[in-house]
Amino acid sequence: MQIHDKQFKRYIDEAKIQARILEMGQVLTERMKNKNPIFLSILNGSFVLVADLVRACDFDAELSFVRLSSYDKLTSTGRVKMHYGLDDVDLENKDIILIEDIVDTGNTLEFFLPELQIKNPSSITIASLLLKPEVYQKKFPIDIVGFEIPNKFVVGYGLDYDGLGRTLRDIWQLDEKE
């Protein structure tokens, strides 16, 4: 399949994604017993995941969004920008579930976690659908990971290549033959 100038091949299909999200929901439900946490979804990429994940969890929760960006087309710029964020969100003594679509270098989280910590939450749990362990070199743990994947660019299920590909139901991997 072609997006802009690149070819992608199907990598993780919708059924497998949905099955894994149910399991992630069960883990979160176990961890959040008797709590009403707040899901904090990092836009744009995690908008599809958060919609599925909140409904795979068996507890009531608040939901809020922040918008961060660091990627330029296929690569991380290393500079994270907060386009909008936490101004009107009360996180004091809250249990935060931070939702990322993918953790790659970890720069986004390294930038953002201190912004959360100064709001005095009671806990921060990080959940990401995808993790690229070969690239990730930060110290903080990603608590709940859907799939560990190799260091290859992927699109679909909320993830984009230069703005496109987010609406695909499966996850597609850059076809290196191209």
101 near ligand IMP, rule: CB under 6 A: yes
Alpha carbon distance 164, 166 (integer Å): 6
112 near ligand IMP, rule: CB under 6 A: no
Please give the size of the binding site for ligand IMP, defined by CB under 6 A: 17
108 near ligand IMP, rule: CB under 6 A: yes
Structure-token pair, residue 28: 């979160």
107 near ligand IMP, rule: CB under 6 A: yes
Q: Output the smallest distance, CB 25 to ligand IMP, in A.
A: 20
Whether 88 contacts 28, CB under 8 Å: no
SS3 of 50, please? helix
95 near ligand IMP, rule: CB under 6 A: no
The amino acid at 153: F
Looking at the Cβ atoms of 59 and 115, the one nearer to ligand IMP is: 115
Is 104 designated active site? yes
Whether 160 contacts 154, CB under 8 Å: no
The amino acid at 138: K
Residue 125 forms beta bridges with which residues? Answer: 97
Residues 6+ apart with CB under 8 A from 106: 136, 137, 138, 140
Stretch that binds ligand IMP, among 19-27, 82-90, 139-147, 153-161 (CB under 6 A): 153-161
Q: Out of 70, 85, 115, 147, name the contact with ligand IMP by CB under 6 A.
A: 70
Which residues have a catalytic role annotated? 104
Site for ligand IMP, rule CB under 6 A? 45, 70-71, 76, 100-108, 153-155, 159
